[in-house]
Chains A and B, each alone.
Chain A
Amino acid sequence: MGGKTDVWQGTLALMTLKTLETMGPQHGYGLARRIELTSGDQLQLNYGTLYPALLKLEQEGYIRSRWGTSENNRKAKFYELTKAGERQVKKAAAEWEQTTEILARFLTPVEEA
């Protein structure tokens, strides 16, 4: 339908963790923009869903947060990966790659035919 895709369940966590891994500590808004940018503006992120997802990751111990100051001098909450988070990124990324690879095997021949 539209050019932009909604983020589907479960992948937002991995995108968040991966973004934090590459970018380092980020505040929520920056993180959201970064995810959209990385997706080449293919993804339409509902910003409201990002915060509960961040809270969940924090409760699970993959990320931690602290208050800081943004680039234009605003009080903002910054998120960063924990050790457990770093491990989780690798694990989840590997799993995801495996999943997509398997799916690709199913999908590729159909597209060729």
Chain B
Amino acid sequence: MRKLRALMMRLCGLLSFRHGDDDFAVELESHVAMHTEDGIRSGLSPQEARRQALIRLGGAEQTRQAYRERLGLPCLENLRLDARYALRQLRNSPGYSITAVLTLGLAIGANTAIFSLVHAILLRQLPFSDPSRVMTVENGMDAGLGFNMNSKSVTASFNDAAGFFKTIENATMYSSIGANVELGEGSARRLKAAETGARFLDVLGVTPRLGRGFAPDEDVPGKDRIALISDRLWRSGFHADPAALGKTIRANGVYLVIVGVLPPQMDFPANVDVWTPTVFDQHTSMREAGAYISTVLVRARANNSAAAVRAELNARAANSRGQGTAHASEPAPDARPIVTPIAAELTKSIRASLLMLSLAVLFLLAIACSNVAGLALARTAARRREFAVRTALGATRRRIIAQQLVESLFVAMAGGASGVLFANGALRLLYLFRPAALDAFQRPAINASVLVFTASMAVVTGVAFGMAPAWLAGDADPGDALRAGTNRSSIRGARLRKILVSGEMGIAFVLLVGAGLLLRTMANMDKVHLGYDTKGILSFSVALHGEPYISKEGGNPAISAFCKGVLDQLDRIPGVTAVGAVSSAPLDTRADMLLPVMAADGAQRSAGGAPRVASNGYFGLMGIPVIEGRGFSSQDNRTSPRVVIVTKDLADKLWPGQSPIGRPIHCFWYCDGSPTVIGVVSPNRRSGPRYGGISEFYFPAMQQDWTYFTFLLRTNGDPAKLASSARRAVAAVNPSQPVYDLETMRDRLNNNESLLRFELFALSVFAVLSVLLVLIGLYGVVSYTVTQRTREIGIRIALGARREAVLISLLRESAFITLVGEALGFAASLVAMRLLATALFGVTPHDPETLIGVGVLFLLVAMAATYLPARRAASIDPMQALRIE
């Protein structure tokens, strides 16, 4: 307590320092005066009395010093002086200060930008209560977390999870789907909806901000026509009016009563606006994605990790398999229950990229640090006289090191501050190449936690690059330094700088190899033949809902009439050369379902394929070649015989070595009347260049009641310019049907590879920056060497050395530094590139061409950076060189 009070007083003393000091001067003077008077009284001469008084005091100046140290805090006082001195020194060498601050600013800025992404995405606090207990379960069927693919009917143990499982408190499921939502009278809007189990909110631990959640039995048909809406929809659609509760909305043709509004931070599943315990379309063919893909979500009991839940589910799954069959076989690893914490599940698509980029920016920072350390070392060598003089005047080694570190910290803090500015720009730049995986997350801001990160990074940086120069500064030997010429510590500094540059090269080499591998991946992907065109094509989707479009026995002509109407309207747009429609176009990211297809001509073969519905003209428009038979025509309608077109691979599986034309097939749902094959098309890579195609079989749009269409139009000009015309075309047929996913096929392809593009862009920028920094570092080292050796080189030239020999010796030294760096980088690349393995395509992580290419490139630019200062050295005039000192 008393200690604390004293500390506070001393801190105050620091502020009113001069005042306290002056006060004491008066007190001391009166002390000496009184002592002197006493001395005179005892018979001493005035001079002698004063001398005695001062002796007994132990020296006036020493006493004042002791008093001063007690008055303030000496360490802080030193810090203040060091800070002032450092600022003066930095002002005196603006070249060094600006270079160092900018270098560090770039690197810290890159780190700040990436960290703000990491903070917003990987470290995000999910808006659930106790989010670590929420997990997704895949393959839970055998373990008792079973559900029907087409509905939300679940096993008894699923509904009574708390009574059945030891580690699970509650279980639910959900599926997200696009929905045409009508809030009242008027046109529908296209939103995302989630079909959930009734316990959805209980599992997540989310409470509505208004109204109520779902009761446990409200996912039973008859009670399930209710909905929760997002805060966003509540504001945009109901003007945040509490009277929204109890209102009826219509989603995908189903009437739902709003019972609650969820809090604004609740954004799960991402971008969903309507949560309902109902299922919109139980029939597969009526669903947008063609399949009901649902996710099982559980809340673990307190203190149960994902591993504990996994262990219980595995044990139960093994048990139930054992009971079912006589010879329970061990399931394949991917058929076992998979339990993933929700935070990991939500970030799985972007996690690896962010970690890779974090590593890349740390590399960049290491390069920047050692570069600035190199500059600081040169400065230390240049300032050795200053340190020698200070040492000679009594400065301790510790004080000199501390003072140098303060200087480094100043530079680093300034770098950190400029880094925050850079980071803002860098984030903007990164978001130009934002991958689709980031769409589920808001664009991060530079917030307080990020600033704390940046500040601590700046401090660490300051100490990291300031350490070696400070140490060498403290080493200054007064006698040695005051003499002219090179000295021990500057030679050590120069050697250290070369080692630093080698290390930098190693790191930059790794970054460059990474960027090179991604570049090759991109090139490889561009070379892949997709099997369809992406140029000049605009696509958009429409989902038909509502009474006029309800599927009927024997067909509903309104559905095909809508499709035909829109196609006719699109065809009339000027500049459009072809139009078409399909149930699911290439590069559609929604899930696909494979159905068994059987040869119905007694061949007894079957194979899996995805069913599609396409208009006539679709294959021609997409550039999918019909390799046998014919494509659809307008004659393929309700009154004509049922027909089907298959992909080549499907035909080969069903009728190997034979022509499939004219042969009938069987399948579920679509194959009434056993359609006959009229054509064969080439398979295509519908999911992008990385993946092979899947088997498909196509029915003519006019023979099926399919209500989800992707319309396509082709033009010779810029397809993006036709967007508003396309909207008008749909409105002309039926203005109440919302158009969604309006984009060019090119954009879809770019989206498909957006993560790679993002990684390639970011890594390339970091790699180029790092190479620039390394070159600056190398240039600095060589220039410094030349300056140091001017005299020596002059003497050598005077003695008859050839100028080329001087040039070559310097180039050789640089080459050596570079080759050492490359060797380090090569070894590091072999390890680090494994991180990239999953992102690569058509190239191995240690692709020799990339490694050699980067190696040669590095050597060339290193030689170029050396050449300039080296030529200066070779052209030294011996007379002038010798006159320098």
Chain A contact residues, CB within 8 Å of chain B:
27-30, 33, 46-49, 51-52, 55-56, 58-61, 70, 72, 74-77
Q: Say if the beta carbon of B71 comes within 8 Å of chain A.
A: yes
| Of A29, A51, A58, A77, the contact of B35 (CB 8 Å cutoff) | A29
Judge whether A76 and B63 touch: CB under 8 Å.
no
Judge whether B5 and A61 touch: CB under 8 Å.
yes
Cα distance A77–B30 when bound, in Å? 9
Q: Which of A27, A28, A47, A77 has the most CB of B within 10 A?
A: A47
Return the CB mask of B22-53 against A: 1 if under 8 Å, else 0.
01101110110111011000000000000000
Cα distance A67–B310 when bound, in Å? 79
Q: Say if the beta carbon of B84 comes within 8 Å of chain A.
A: no
> A47 and B58 in contact (CB under 8 A), knowing A28-B27, A60-B5?
yes
> A46 and B56 in contact (CB under 8 A), knowing A55-B70, A55-B71?
yes
CB distance from A23 to the nearest CB of B (A): 16
Q: Say if the beta carbon of B59 comes within 8 Å of chain A.
A: yes
Can you name 16 extra interface pairs (CB under 8 A) apart from A27-B31, A33-B38, A46-B57? A27-B30, A46-B56, A47-B31, A49-B58, A51-B24, A52-B66, A52-B67, A52-B70, A55-B67, A55-B70, A56-B70, A58-B9, A59-B6, A59-B10, A75-B26, A75-B30
Cα distance A51–B64 when bound, in Å? 9
Q: Say if the beta carbon of B323 comes within 8 Å of chain A.
A: no
Judge whether A51 and B28 touch: CB under 8 Å.
yes
A-B pairs under 8 A by CB, number: 72
Judge whether A48 and B24 touch: CB under 8 Å.
no
CB distance from A9 to the nearest CB of B (A): 14
Judge whether B33 and A46 touch: CB under 8 Å.
no
> A74 and B59 in contact (CB under 8 A), knowing A49-B66, A59-B10?
no
Q: Say if the beta carbon of B877 comes within 8 Å of chain A.
A: no
Judge whether A28 and B31 touch: CB under 8 Å.
yes
What are 6 A-B residue pairs whose CB atoms fall within 8 Å in the complex?
A29-B30, A51-B28, A59-B13, A59-B70, A74-B34, A75-B26
| Of A56, A60, A72, A77, the contact of B27 (CB 8 Å cutoff) | A77
Q: Which residues of B contact A56 (CB under 8 A)?
A: 6, 70
Give the dominant DSSP class at A's interface. Answer: helix
Give the dominant DSSP class at B's interface. Answer: helix
Q: Which 9 A-B pairs have the closest CB atoms?
A: A48-B58, A48-B63, A59-B9, A52-B70, A59-B6, A29-B34, A60-B2, A29-B31, A77-B27
Cα distance A56–B71 when bound, in Å? 8
Q: Say if the beta carbon of B62 comes within 8 Å of chain A.
A: yes
CB distance from A59 to the nearest CB of B (A): 4
Return the CB mask of B693-708 against A: 1 if under 8 Å, else 0.
0000000000000000
Cα distance A48–B61 when bound, in Å? 10
B28 nearest in chain A by CB position:
A51
Q: Which residues of B contact A75 (CB under 8 A)?
A: 26, 30
Q: Which residues of A contact B56 (CB under 8 A)?
A: 46-47
Cα distance A70–B3 when bound, in Å? 32
Cα distance A29–B31 when bound, in Å? 5
CB distance from B347 to the nearest CB of A (A): 54
Judge whether B63 and A51 touch: CB under 8 Å.
yes
How many residues of B are counted as interface, with CB atoms below 8 angstroms from the partner's CB atoms? 30
Q: Which residues of B contact A51 (CB under 8 A)?
A: 24, 27-28, 63, 66-67
B7 nearest in chain A by CB position:
A59
Q: Which residues of B contact A60 (CB under 8 A)?
A: 2-3, 5-6
Cα distance A74–B31 when bound, in Å? 10
| Of A33, A58, A72, A76, the contact of B37 (CB 8 Å cutoff) | A72
Judge whether B57 and A47 touch: CB under 8 Å.
yes
Judge whether B66 and A48 touch: CB under 8 Å.
yes
Q: Which residues of B contact A33 (CB under 8 A)?
A: 38
Q: Which residues of A contact B27 (CB under 8 A)?
A: 28, 51, 76-77
CB distance from B46 to the nearest CB of A (A): 15
Q: Which residues of A contact B67 (CB under 8 A)?
A: 51-52, 55
A51 nearest in chain B by CB position:
B67
Q: Which residues of B contact A27 (CB under 8 A)?
A: 30-31, 34
CB distance from B71 to the nearest CB of A (A): 6
CB distance from B215 to the nearest CB of A (A): 66
Q: Say if the beta carbon of B741 comes within 8 Å of chain A.
A: no
Judge whether B69 and A52 touch: CB under 8 Å.
yes
Cα distance A11–B194 when bound, in Å? 79
Return the CB mask of B65-95 against A: 1 if under 8 Å, else 0.
0110111000000000000000000000000
| Of A55, A61, A74, A76, the contact of B2 (CB 8 Å cutoff) | A61
A71 nearest in chain B by CB position:
B34
Judge whether A74 and B30 touch: CB under 8 Å.
yes
Cα distance A29–B27 when bound, in Å? 10
Cα distance A75–B57 when bound, in Å? 19
Cα distance A70–B58 when bound, in Å? 23
Cα distance A52–B67 when bound, in Å? 5
Q: Which residues of B contact A77 (CB under 8 A)?
A: 23, 27, 30
Judge whether B5 and A76 touch: CB under 8 Å.
no
Q: Which of B31, B58, B66 has the most CB of A within 10 A?
A: B31
CB distance from A53 to the nearest CB of B (A): 8
A84 nearest in chain B by CB position:
B2
Cα distance A58–B71 when bound, in Å? 10
Cα distance A56–B729 when bound, in Å? 89
B63 nearest in chain A by CB position:
A48
Cα distance A59–B3 when bound, in Å? 9
Cα distance A59–B71 when bound, in Å? 9
Q: Which residues of B contact A70 (CB under 8 A)?
A: 30, 34
Q: Which residues of A contact B23 (CB under 8 A)?
A: 77
Q: Which residues of A contact B37 (CB under 8 A)?
A: 72
| Of A47, A55, A61, A74, the contact of B33 (CB 8 Å cutoff) | A74
Return the CB mask of B195-232 against A: 1 if under 8 Å, else 0.
00000000000000000000000000000000000000
Q: Which of B7-25 contact A (CB under 8 A)?
A: 9-10, 13, 23-24
CB distance from B15 to the nearest CB of A (A): 14
CB distance from B583 to the nearest CB of A (A): 84
A46 nearest in chain B by CB position:
B58
Cα distance A65–B57 when bound, in Å? 20
